[in-house]
A and B are shown apart, each in its own frame.
Chain A
Amino acid sequence: MTFPRILPVGDAALVVEFGDEIHPDIHRRVLALDHALAADPFPGLRETVPTYRSLLVYYDPRQLSWDEARRLVANALARSTDTPMPEPREVEIPVVYGGEFGPDIGFVAAHTGLSEEEVVRLHTSVTYTVYMLGFAPGFVYLGGLPEALATPRLPTPRPSVPAGSVGIAGLQTGIYGLSTPGGWRLIGRTPLTMLDLNRQPPTLLQPGDRVRFVRIG
C-alpha cells in the first residue's frame, strides 16, 4: 500500500488515509490536510473528521461527483504540505487521581508493578497530543502515554462512566466527555466541563492540542 491514498466512502464522502499506524508524523499530515481544507474550503465541502491516520471528508453529491471531489481533495493535499500550521494550543487539565474518582488506579498500579503514587507521577510527567475526538460526544483520545503505564481495558465495560473521567486503555489515555458506558481503566477525574453543548466549539479540546495533566485535590 502506498500512502496517502484517497478512497471512496459511499456516495457522499471520501477518506484520505495517511498510513496504517499511530504515529505523530502521520497524525500531523492528517491535521495539515484538515487545516488546508478549513482555510480554503471548496464549494460542496460539508464536514471533515480527523482521526489518528485518516481524514474523512463529507461532500455534497449534488454539487460534486466523486472524480471532482477526489481532484479537489488531491489539490488540497498537495497544498497542505506547504500551508503553515498554527502553533498547537497547550492546555492543562486538572485531575483528582484515585479514590472514588479513579477506581481502577489500584489495578493499574498492580498491573504495571508501580505504586499508585508512581502512576500519578508518570501520568502527569509528559505532554500528550489530542489525536481525535470520537466514538461518543466529546471523548478525547490522547497519544503519548508512557509505555510503563500501558494497561488493558476492562473485560466488561461499565454501564456508565461519569463525564470527565480519565482512563487508560492499552497505550492510550483518554477523557470521557459525556457520561457513557465505557471499558477504559479509570485513574482519575477532571472537574472541567469537557463537552458543553451551548459552546462553540462544543468541546474544550480539539485535535492537535497539547495536553498536560496536573494533579489536584
Chain B
Amino acid sequence: MLEVLDGGWLTTIQDLGRPGYERYGIPVSGAMDFFALRVANGLVGNPPGAAGLEITLVGPVLAATAPCLVAVTGADLTFRVDGREMPMWMSVFVRRGSVISFGGRRRGCRAYLAVAGGIEVPPVLGSRSTYLPGRFGGWEGRALRAGDRLPIGPVSGHLPERAGRRFPPHRLPAYSDCPTVRAVPGPQDDHFPPEGLETFFGAEYRVSPTSDRMGYRLEGPPVARRRAEIISDGVPPGAVQVPPDGQPIVMMADHQTTGGYPKIATVITADRPLLAQCVPGESRIRFAAVDIAEAQRRYRETMEMLERSWE
C-alpha cells in the first residue's frame, strides 16, 4: 500500500487508457507520456499497461506501508526516498515505512511512478486511468490527496534483488523545452490556404498556461483558414484543430472525441511524449511535416525498441 501524505499539484492514476469507447464519446485518457509510463513499468517488471502515477510539476509525498520496488521516469522533479535523491529511469527498492517525495522541478512536466504489482484500483471500462472531467477511473475519479491509500497488486520474487535496473539514456525521446514535433498534414489540410500551412509548419508556438490533459492551446502567429467550421467529426489524440482565431489546439489524452474545427495536421504517435513534457506557459514548440510512411516507421521503431528493452 502507498499512503498519500500530500497529493502534490496534480497526481492521477493512469495506465495506457481505455480504447474502444470513443464511439460513445468516452476519450482514451491514459498516460500523457506513454513512453515514460511503459519504461517505468518495464523497470519494475510490470506489464506495459499496469497503472502508475502521473505526477504533474509538483510531486506528492507517499509513505510505503510495505516494502516495494518503484521506478520514476519522465520529468525530473527531484525524486527522493527518505530525503535522499535517487536516480530516475532505474528500479529502486523502498523499505517499509520509507517516504517517497519530490524536490524542485528541473526539467519536463510529468513524471511517472510505477510500483511492482501496479496500482490496483478497480478498472472502469477496462482501464484504471483517471478521467478528471468525467470524474471516473483512477482513485474516485479525482486527483490524489492526503489520506488516500493506494492498493498495490501482488508481486513475486525478492524485491531488493530487482533494484538497480536501468533504462539506457540514449534510448530516451528527444525531450526538450523547445521540441520540434513531427506531424502528418491533414485530414482537413485542404481547408487551409498554402500560407496557413506555411505559418503552421514554420512558426514557433508557445504552450499556453491554460493547456491541460485535454488539450494544448498554442500561442503564436495565427494560421489562415479557408473555411470557418466543419461538421463535427471524430478527433484522434494528436490532432491539431484550428479555431477561428487561428491559434492551434493539440488534442491530448483526455481530448473530446468529436469536434467542429478543421484539423490541419496530426502529431505522430512517437512524438506525443515530447508534447507531454512541455510545460504550460513556458515551453515553445515547432512542427515539422512528415509523411505517413515516416510516421509509421517511427512508431514501429519506438514500440520495437521498448519491447526489446525487457528481453
Which chain A residues have a beta carbon within 8 Å of chain B's beta carbons? 7-15, 17, 20-22, 46-56, 58, 61-62, 65-66, 132-139, 141, 177-178, 180, 195, 197, 201-203, 207
Contacts and interface: CB of A to CB of B under 8 A. Distances in A.
Interface in B265-294: 266-270, 292-293
B24 A20 contact: no
Nearest to A57: B234
Q: Closest 8 CB pairs between A and B?
A: A56-B234, A10-B266, A134-B258, A11-B295, A49-B234, A7-B187, A51-B233, A61-B296
21 contacts: A8-B186, A9-B187, A10-B183, A10-B238, A10-B269, A10-B295, A11-B266, A13-B236, A47-B20, A49-B257, A56-B22, A58-B19, A61-B269, A62-B299, A66-B292, A66-B293, A138-B24, A178-B134, A201-B24, A202-B21, A202-B125
Nearest to B294: A11
A199 B292 CA distance: 37
Nearest to A178: B134
B229 to A, nearest CB: 11
A135 B183 CA distance: 23
B133 interface: yes
Interface of B: 19-27, 124-125, 131, 133-134, 136, 183-184, 186-188, 230-236, 238-239, 256-259, 263, 266-270, 292-293, 295-296, 298-300, 303
Given A10-B184, A11-B292, A51-B258, 7 more contacts: A10-B295, A11-B184, A46-B20, A51-B232, A53-B233, A65-B293, A178-B134
A1 to B, nearest CB: 8
A48 B22 CA distance: 8
Nearest to B257: A134
Contacts of A133: 23-25
Q: Which among A9, A21, A55 has the highest number of chain B CB atoms within 10 Å?
A: A9
Contacts of B19: 46-47, 58
A73 to B, nearest CB: 14
Nearest to A133: B25
Given A10-B239, A10-B268, A134-B257, A49 B23 contact: yes
Given A54-B234, A135-B257, A61 B299 contact: yes
Contacts of A134: 25, 232, 234, 256-258
A47 B23 contact: yes
B22 A47 contact: yes
Contacts of A202: 21, 24, 26, 125
B215 to A, nearest CB: 12
Contacts of B296: 11, 61, 65-66
Contacts of B303: 62
Contacts of B238: 10
Given A10-B295, A61-B300, A203 B24 contact: yes
Contacts of B131: 137
Nearest to A53: B231
